[in-house]
Amino acid sequence: MSASVLTPAPAHSQPPSCDDAFCTPGITPGVVLGASCNDTRHYVFGTTSWGRLVFCGSPRRYEPRYFRSPPMVGVKAENSFCRGHENSVAQGFDGQFLICQALDGLPLWRRGDN
């Protein structure tokens, strides 16, 4: 009789693909556009009662509040290539708010709270 051996997944395995807001974890439902919010770094996305995607931001260092979200393309890895999604937003695998920005001609997913 042989014993079963469990083999863990390789450390380099990738998380499942998520390319839109519908599969993004941690989106807060029932948000009021313009209402105050707390965290502008992690799990910043929400939806209004009518389904509009919003994000928690702090313009010019004012108190954070919910704004209409730019196009959201799901969950992405920070500093990964994002050509074609410039000025779109995403959520990092750790919940970090990301934006696709081209600096020096290289479009990468970068932290949106900088």
Neighbours of 24 (CB within 10 A): 19
Say if pTM beats, i.e. exceeds, 0.75: yes
Distance CA 15, CA 9 (A): 11
The pLDDT value recorded for residue 62 is: 86
Q: For residue 4, what pLDDT is reported? A: 43
Averaged pLDDT in 10-residue chunks for the chain of 114 residues:
44 67 94 94 95 91 92 96 95 96 93 81
pLDDT score recorded for residue 61? 75
Distances (CA, A) of 65 to 31, 35, 37, 39, 91: 10, 5, 5, 9, 18
| Element holding 110 (H helix, E strand) | strand 106-111
d(C-alpha 19, C-alpha 77), whole Å: 12
Tell me what pLDDT residue 36 has: 96
Supply the pLDDT for residue 27: 95
Whole-number pLDDT of residue 5: 46
Cα 66 to Cα 75: distance, rounded to the nearest angstrom: 20
